[in-house]
A and B are shown apart, each in its own frame.
Chain A
Amino acid sequence: MEAKMGAKRESSFVQELEDRLDMIFADDLKPRGTPAAGAEVLESVSLSGARESDESLFGGLTQSGSILFSPVRELKSIVLSLEWEINSQNLLRFDEEVSRLEGVFAEDMCSLAFVRVLRFLGRYVTVKGNSTDPGSINLLLATYDNLETVQLTKGMSETQRCSLMLETINSYKKWAETAELSARPDDAEECPDELPQQLSFASAAEEFPSRDTGGSGEGFTAKVIPLPTPPALSLSPVCMQPDAREEHADGAVFASCPPLEDTGGEEPERGGQEELFEFEREEPAAAAPAAPASPERDDAIAFVIEELKRMRAEFDALKEEIRSAKPVKT
């Protein structure tokens, strides 16, 4: 019944809408020079009964799902700016805001899950830089959209919220799998011989100096280190994509990306001049001593699983570290 606003009702609906707008903007729609009649308008509204109460016209906004009253208000602006241009400043703002929201949503596990996915994606983009695949940006935007929905939709049940969260996590998992499998061979090829490929985020932070601080070793790297811990998922390393290995079945890629331990003392001078997006080379790579030469996918998967386990342990340790450091920071 309500779904069908029939033709007759339709026109009356629009008519009433126009009357309402006339009323709201009476001051402006009257010919110029007419004295303002705000008070009269309000009175006429009341008398006409067109409005149920002042509350329906003037109120409600503060209780509505407006982004303006939401904790994600600032994040929306940052996400939009990231969509426009991915640069170190926007990524830094994103990371800071996401970190802030983690505190805000500390008691809201559902929202927290979104925030953690966002944090992970943000840092993934930071590390991947200009070779970030578009899927990660799309996922970041979609995740934000879902967070916004969860935050702004009035009367959303916990089940609906969780459902949206699970949907996001599933998308995230799919993306991680796709990102892994679709890694371009040139991703690996871009890794120069002299650069260690088995840097973890944490070790990368130690290895690479800050861009902002001109090589002081502080600043930017600190934003990269703490790996986010999205629910039950971690990022797979890029330099060990099965596809990439298929393209380099002779193992040349991995030969050129030796484990950190093997090259620790031979790390070339960075000179503090590293561009932000060259951090792609820091992408967490294999923890195993050497990449299997075989291009077979099973090997690659096993290899990745091992790496994930190692990374998860690292995440947990980092989480603990962050948790213990939190009171000091705030």
Chain B
Amino acid sequence: MAFINLKDRVIQAKIVYYGPGRCGKTTNLEYVYRKCRLQIKSEMVSVNTEGDRTLFFDFFPFDIGKIMGYDVKVQLYTVPGQVKYNSTRRLVLKGVDGVVFVADSAEDKRNANVASLKNLQENLNLYNKSIFKIPLVLQYNKRDLGKNGASVLDIDTLQSDLNDQLKAPFFEASALEGDNVIATLKKIISSTMASLEKELE
């Protein structure tokens, strides 16, 4: 749950990057981290093992500054995507306010994407949150793979697999090259804050 202190005028939201293993969640965060060092002013906490795969989580606080007198802060988290780390994913999802689901565009990751999205739904349910209601943005990552001749899933397939019912905003992206990484982040922050405002009403 977001930390909202109306007296001190502080709003702090938690956004989690979710997705299958090696889909590029950490790459997303690393890109954001590089791009807004001034807002972060701290080291990104990341525990990588097993060939640079996220074992625990990455996170950093992101200070947006004062908006209409409110000090707005966002905490960005990633989760380990590997199936076996579900308990850690659940833990990181605790108190989540918004989710970016990073899907891997590689053709052979089609099932992994679907499984991970289902896993997200299940884990959100544990916290009485609905995947249909929580602010959610889909990011179809690794679009650059196509340039290198690798087989990538077309957007229609990804939409049909993942977003047919959710109808969430989505972006084609390449976290490695930084394409649409910031657009994704901007969208999720806006959606999350709008949702928090509604809750406050």
| Docked complex Cα distance between A3 and B5 (Å) | 9
How far apart sit A123 and B60, CA to CA, in the bound complex (Å)? Answer: 31
Question: Which of the residues B67, B88, B91 comes within 8 Å of A13, measured between beta carbons?
Answer: B67
CB-defined contacts of B182 to chain A, threshold 8 Å: 25, 28-29
Q: Is A56 an interface residue (CB 8 A)?
A: yes
| Complex-state Cα separation, A61 to B72, whole angstroms | 12
Give 20 pairs: A residue, B residue, CB < 8 Å, sorted on A. A2-B9, A7-B201, A13-B67, A14-B190, A14-B193, A20-B64, A20-B67, A21-B186, A25-B35, A28-B182, A51-B65, A61-B40, A64-B61, A66-B42, A66-B61, A73-B45, A77-B45, A80-B57, A80-B91, A84-B85
User: Closest CB-CB distance, B185 to chain A, in whole Å?
Assistant: 8
Chain A neighbourhood of B60, CB < 8 A: 68
B38 interface neighbour in A4, A58, A77, Cβ under 8 Å:
A58
Q: Can you name the residue of chain B whose Cβ is closest to the Cβ of A27?
A: B35
B11-48 CB contacts (< 8 Å) to partner A: 35-36, 38-43, 45, 47
Indicate if A324 sits at the interface (CB-CB under 8 A).
Answer: no
* Minimum CB–CB distance for B97 against chain A, Å: 14
- Report the bound CA distance from A83 to B193 in whole Å: 30
CB distance from A253 to the nearest CB of B (A): 33
CA distance A45 to B41 in the complex (A): 19
The answer to whether A60 and B56 touch (CB under 8 A), given A18-B190, A29-B183, is no
Chain A residues with CB under 8 A of B186: 18, 21-22, 25, 29
CA distance A62 to B38 in the complex (A): 12
Digit string of A16-32 for contact with B (CB within 8 Å is 1, else 0)?
A: 11101110110111000
Does B200 lie within 8 Å of A16, measured CB to CB?
Answer: no
In the complex, whether A81 has a CB less than 8 A from a CB of chain B is yes
Contact-residue bracket for chain B:
35 or more
A-facing mask of B144-169, CB < 8 A → 1, else 0?
A: 00000000000000000000000000
A44 within 8 A of B: no
Residues A155 and B8 in contact in the complex (CB < 8 Å), given A16-B67, A17-B72, A80-B57? yes
The reply to whether A84 and B87 contact each other, CB–CB distance below 8 Å, is yes
Whether A56 pairs with B43 at a CB distance below 8 angstroms is: no
How many angstroms from the CA of A52 to the CA of B87 in the assembled complex?
42
Contact indicator B198/A83 (Cβ below 8 Å): no
Complex contact B68–A16 (CB within 8 A) = yes
Task: List residues of B whose CB falls within 8 A of some A CB.
Answer: 6-9, 35-36, 38-43, 45, 47, 56-57, 60-61, 63-68, 70-73, 85, 87-88, 91, 178, 181-183, 185-186, 189-190, 193-194, 197-198, 200-201
Do A4 and B201 form a contact, CB below 8 Å, given A17-B189, A17-B190?
A: yes
Among A25, A77, A155, max chain B CB count under 10 A is at: A25
CB-based contact A60/B71 at 8 Å: yes
Given contacts A13-B197, A14-B197, A24-B39, contact A61 B65 (CB under 8 A): no
Additional A-B contacts beyond A84-B56, A84-B87 (15; CB < 8 A): A3-B200, A4-B200, A5-B201, A17-B67, A21-B185, A21-B189, A24-B36, A25-B182, A28-B181, A56-B65, A66-B42, A68-B45, A68-B60, A68-B61, A83-B88
Question: From A12, which residue of chain B is reached at the shortest CB distance?
Answer: B68
Rounded to whole Å, the gap between the CB of A69 and the closest CB of chain B is 7
Which residues of chain A (65-89) have a CB below 8 Å from chain B? 66-69, 73, 77, 80-81, 83-84
A57 touches B197 (CB 8 A): no
Say yes or no: is A9 at the interface (Cβ < 8 Å to chain B).
yes
Residues of chain A lying within 8 A (CB to CB) of residue B88: 80, 83-84
- Indicate if the CB atoms of A13 and B68 lie closer than 8 Å: yes
Q: Which residue of A lies closest to B70 (CB)?
A: A13
User: A10 at the A/B interface (Cβ < 8 Å)?
Assistant: yes
Instruction: Determine whether the beta carbon of A13 is less than 8 Å from that of B56.
Output: no
Within the complex, the shortest CB–CB distance from B10 to chain A, in Å, comes to 9
Known contacts A21-B64, A155-B8, A10 near B73 by CB under 8 Å:
no
A24 with B64, Cβ < 8 A, contacts A61-B42, A68-B45 known: yes
What separation, in Å, do the CA atoms of A63 and B41 have in the docked complex? 11
Chain B, Cβ-Cβ closest to A14: B194
A20 cross-chain contacts in B, Cβ below 8 A: 64-65, 67
Known: A14-B193, A17-B189, A80-B56. A9 touches B68 (CB 8 A): yes
In contact, B64 and A13 (Cβ under 8 angstroms)? no
Taken together as a complex, chains A and B put the C-alpha atoms of A68 and B63 apart, in Å, by 14
| Cα-based distance from A7 to B66 in the complex (angstroms) | 19
CA distance A22 to B40 in the complex (A): 16
- Give the complex CA separation of A118 and B198 in angstroms: 38
Cα separation A268 to B185 with both chains bound (whole Å): 62
